[in-house]
Amino acid sequence: MRAERTITDVISDELARRVLIGIHPPGTAAPSVRDLAAEFRTTRNTATRVLHGLAARGFLEEPRTTESFRVRDVRFDAGIDSYRFLLDPVTMPASAAVIFTEMLEALEGIVTDAVIGLLRGERPVSQQWVSEQLDCLTLLTALDESVRIHTLTVGVDVLRELLAEPRFGFQRAILNSLAEALLNVPEAVRALVPEHPRHYVPLLQALAGTAAFGGLSDAGITRATTLCQLYHRSAIARFQADMHRIQKPSIPLATP
């Protein structure tokens, strides 16, 4: 369930989007506390929290002495939290297509590691539980938005369980950030859980079967990871096609 948004969240998201689409170019002064408070009809304390929050997330540089906050080159040196704002099909479809591809490539590496660990018995997890969770997903047929979100949420929960050991904390943190970003974009959810189950049910059935079996040969692991790759490639193709249909003139995503 999505958390309730505060006025600070709303203003932060709007200012972040302005930075990303070039309204506030890198190196320029960000809106002042007074201007921000006046535009959004809020208090200066709230405006101050917004600016410091965006600085903490990599969008702005903290001021030195009495200088203003300055806009950072987010697309070049910001962190993963900033990237979720680029996954915006409405205002930046071209950027969204690139970011979705990059996110799924990162996710593919995490999924592959989790699958290999599961199939080789390296994860301290109930294989019966994993199999039951994945089996339930193959039975879902009415794919409205809530069912699609549920399907992705269960898949993420399974991956979290497979990455439960402390040594996989960094991968789990990246997974959580990617999942939060993807689950909040309906176009991304539709690409990952398309209307026809043929795109993902074979993968779920293969993972459920191997989890119940409790082990797999190297050839079986290759097949499972190949299914993951095919699934991600088809999701990327669906998302890119969707972005092509709705694309408007937008600021292209710069590459370092």
DSSP codes joined into one string, 204-235: HHHHHHHHHHT---HHHHHHHHHHHHHHHHHH
Would you state the pLDDT for residue 189? 92
- Six-digit token string for 23: 């309204």
Q: How many whole angstroms separate alpha carbon 158 and alpha carbon 58?
A: 31
The winner for highest mean pLDDT among 31-40, 92-101, 239-248 is 31-40
Structure tokens at 223: 């097949």
Residues 6+ apart with CB under 8 A from 237: none
Please identify, in words, the CATH class of the domain defined by 7-77: mainly alpha
Pair 55, 49: CB distance under 8 Å: no
Residue 151 has pLDDT above 90, yes or no: no
pLDDT at 249 (0 to 100):
46
Distance between CA atoms of residues 193 and 105, nearest Å: 17
Q: Are 51 and 19 in contact (CB under 8 A)?
A: no
Q: Is 2 helix (H, G, I), strand (E, B) or coil?
A: coil
Between residues 244 and 130, the one the model is more confident about: 244
pLDDT (mean) for 111-126:
68
The whole-number average pLDDT for the span 34-48 is 95
Residue 206's pLDDT band (boundaries 50, 70, 90)?
low
State how far the Cα of 95 lies from the Cα of 224, in Å rounded to an integer.
30
Mean pLDDT over 109-136 rounds to 71
Length, in residues, of the chain: 256
Q: CA-based Rg of the chain, rounded to a whole angstrom?
A: 21
Q: Are 162 and 123 in contact (CB under 8 A)?
A: yes
CA distances (Å), 173 to each of 123, 153, 224, in order?
17, 15, 24
Q: For residue 70, give the DSSP letter.
A: E
pLDDT at 253: 42
155-188 confidence digits (pLDDT tens)? 888 888 877 777 788 888 999 989 988 998 999 9
Q: Residue 71 forms beta bridges with which residues?
A: 60
Q: Work out the pLDDT band at 71, boundaries 50, 70, 90.
A: very high
pTM value is 0.71
Give me the pLDDT at residue 214, please: 56
Banded pLDDT at 254 (limits 50, 70, 90): very low
pLDDT value, residue 1: 40
Task: Give the pLDDT band of residue 251 (cuts 50, 70, 90).
Answer: very low
User: What confidence tier does 191 reach under pLDDT thresholds 50, 70, 90?
Assistant: very high
Task: Say if CB 152 and CB 122 are below 8 A apart.
Answer: no
Extents of the domains making up the chain: 7-77, 82-246
Whole-angstrom distance, CA of residue 53 vs CA of residue 163: 30
**Residue-level pLDDT at 252:** 46
pLDDT at 93: 80
CA atoms within 13 A on the CB side of 69: 27
